[in-house]
Amino acid sequence: VTKLILSLGNVDPFELKGFSSSGVDDAIASATTALFAEYGDEISAALPVLMDIIGRSTINELMSKDSDGSESNTSFCPDVPESSKDGFVDFRDLFLNATSALKAGGSGDMPYGDMMVLAKRFVDDELVAADPETGLPRVNSLLIGPLTEAQSGDSGKLIIAESLFEYSSSDLSTVGVEKMELSLYDAGMNNMDTVQYPLSVMVPSGRHTIDNKLTIGTSTMPLEASMQLAVLLSSDYFDMDDVVNLRVELDTASIDASIMAMLLAKSLMEFPLSDFGNLNCWLAMISVPELDEDGYSMSETVSLALAQLAMS
């Protein structure tokens, strides 16, 4: 992923609760309110930059690993053949029927067959379509609800019990700190089965671009994300050993993501079904630019990118 763009609406002051002393809670609440009052605009401007730097590197690191966490190995995937620009997949012809593809600017000749057209139709008819009982997309009751219930025991709830981040240092004596330990753990999300409209999946907006839109959370069942932050600090000024409960609630969260990918048509047409579940082999279909001796692209051509990511 070479580019990750985040656009924000209003950013409200965050809250930190769960300290052993209510006085600490009140002091931190006052401090964060004052911080946002003074530097709210600067914080809002900095978040997209942090997302591009941290979020993009995190996504690229995850993409470089197999599902079991080991370094990815594409040595057994089919070799990617050389191909001209005319050999790249046109998403309009890949996901739309002949009539719709032609109207959208594609060839309308169904050059890749109808398998992906049928798969896209299944997603739209079975997952994006409204549930007559709730009026919400059926993806909630058919996919998200059962999967999260199997994982956590509660529909719409996802639990990540293991530690997400750990930091320990005892070499901060120059600033008067004898020991510092930080850890993030017990992350979770609740009300994930509140996907609502507008919702769209894999909608071709150009030759090599597909658009996706997700809206989740309601005023009565907001999307919740939480985790525990353990802080241990021993210094010349004070000692601290606390666990903070971090929680974010979003009444309605909306995510728009446009993905640009240059897939080689020959690789797609010759893709073996035995490798269908191998993410590395799917990624191997993406055109790779010529790299210099340091591993940097020698051209400005981008073959895979999040062309736009907007969250509100």
* 309 and 254 share one domain: no
Q: Is residue 274 part of a domain?
A: yes
- Do 253 and 168 belong to one domain? yes
Residue 41 lies in a domain: yes
Q: Per the domain annotation, does 133 fall within a domain?
A: no
Do 198 and 274 fall within a single domain? Answer: no
Q: What is the pLDDT of residue 241?
A: 86
Residues, the chain, total?
A: 312
**pLDDT tens-digit profile of 213-234?**
999 988 889 989 999 989 888 8
The phi, psi pair for 278, rounded to 5°, reads: -100, 105
Same domain, 157 and 253: yes
Which positions ≥6 away from 251 have C-beta within 8 Å? 217, 218, 219, 222
Domain total in the chain:
3
Domain that holds residue 83: 72-87+262-312
Bridge partners for 255 per DSSP: 214, 311
- Please check whether residues 33 and 76 belong to one and the same domain: no
Q: What secondary structure letter does DSSP report for 109? A: S
Examine the domain organization and report whether 204 and 170 are in the same domain. Answer: yes
Residue 129 lies in a domain: no
Asked if 286 and 303 touch (Cβ cutoff 8 Å), the reply is: yes
Q: Judge whether 98 lies within some domain.
A: no
How does the average pLDDT of the chain come out, rounded?
Answer: 79
Greatest CA span in the chain, whole angstroms? Answer: 74
The 8-class DSSP code of residue 84 comes to -
Q: Residue 82: pLDDT band by 50, 70, 90 thresholds?
A: very low
Residue 281: per-residue pLDDT: 83
Distance CA 198, CA 215 (A): 6
306 with 250, same domain: the answer is no
The pLDDT value given to residue 81:
43
Is there a domain that residue 32 lies in?
yes
Range list of β-strands (E), the chain: 158-160, 165-169, 177-190, 195-204, 209-216, 223-235, 239-250, 253-261, 304-311
Q: In this structure, are 301 and 233 located in the same domain?
A: no
Instruction: Determine the residue type at 78.
Output: P
The answer as to whether 121 is a domain residue is no
- Is 224 part of any domain? yes
Q: What percent of the chain has pLDDT over 90?
A: 31
For residue 198, whether the previous peptide bond is cis, meaning omega lies within 30 degrees of 0, is yes
Instruction: Find which of 244-248, 283-287, 296-300 is predicted with most confidence, using mean pLDDT.
Output: 244-248
Whether residue 233 is found in the same domain as residue 200: yes
Helices (H), the chain: 22-50, 56-63, 91-95, 98-104, 115-122, 139, 145-152, 265-269, 279-283
Per-residue pLDDT, 177: 73
Please check whether residues 83 and 38 belong to one and the same domain.
Answer: no
Structure tokens at 296: 């940097």
pLDDT in tens, 150-200: 999 999 999 988 888 888 887 766 667 778 888 999 999 999 999 999 999
Judging by beta carbons within 10 Å of its beta carbon (0-12, 13-18, 19+), is residue 205 exposed, middle or buried?
A: middle
Question: Is the per-residue pLDDT at 274 higher than 90?
Answer: no
89-140 residue pLDDT tens: 999 999 999 999 999 999 999 988 898 999 999 999 999 999 999 999 999 9
CA angle 42, 48, 52 (to 5 degrees): 140
